[in-house]
Amino acid sequence: MKLYQIFKASIHEPKKLAAFRLLKIGKVFRFVFLFVTLFTVISFIRYVVGDAVLFEASPELLEQGQLIGGLIYPIAFILQLVISTFYIFLRISIFAYIGVVLLRLMKRRGEYRFMWNTAAIAITVPILVTIALDFFPAMSDYSMLITSLIHVGYIAAAAKYYPKLVK
């Protein structure tokens, strides 16, 4: 399955979202890193343009930044890439655990590794909403709550299509 097919299905097909639990982990990682790259590039562009500040700068930090000059940009890009990767993978892992709890409540069969794949693909819409809400500072307080609810909603919708627990 191609990445654009996974993207399309992840937005509006919960049955396929549940079936993506069987994808090879390499394909899932490629899909997730597509969003890591998108998240990083948008963040870096906002940093370069001056729309967003990475850290509140102290006078010493500003002085060090002037000392290294143009090297600040590759360092900032790498730093943003590492932070974005950590953030997205941590988020997927937490929501995969929440998905396992949902599976137990719904009396469905599934393991953490399968739910991790589902949570990774289900992060499509929450990441796109996070990027969109990032441009509206007034919504930044509610951004995490809104995207978390969306993510749990997608996971719950997919969990309905996991096999039933047999006793």
Minimum mean pLDDT among 11-15, 92-96, 112-116, 126-130: which range? 11-15
CB within 8 Å of 17: residues ≥ 6 apart: 9, 10, 118, 121, 122, 154, 157, 158, 161
Confidence (pLDDT) at 48 = 79
pLDDT confidence tier of residue 5, bands split at 50, 70 and 90 = confident
pLDDT digits (tens, 9 = 90+) for 80-122: 899 989 999 999 999 999 999 999 999 999 899 999 999 999 9
Helix, strand or coil for residue 106?
coil
DSSP 8-state code for residue 24 = -
| Element at 80 (helix H, strand E) | helix 72-105
Identify the residue with better confidence: 59 or 163: 163
pLDDT digits (tens, 9 = 90+) for 148-161: 999 999 999 999 99
Confidence (pLDDT) at 55 = 55
Confidence (pLDDT) at 91 = 94
Per the rule left: phi > 0, alpha: psi between -120 and 50, beta: everything else, 108 is beta
Beta strands in the chain (DSSP E): none
Q: Quote the mean pLDDT of the chain.
A: 86
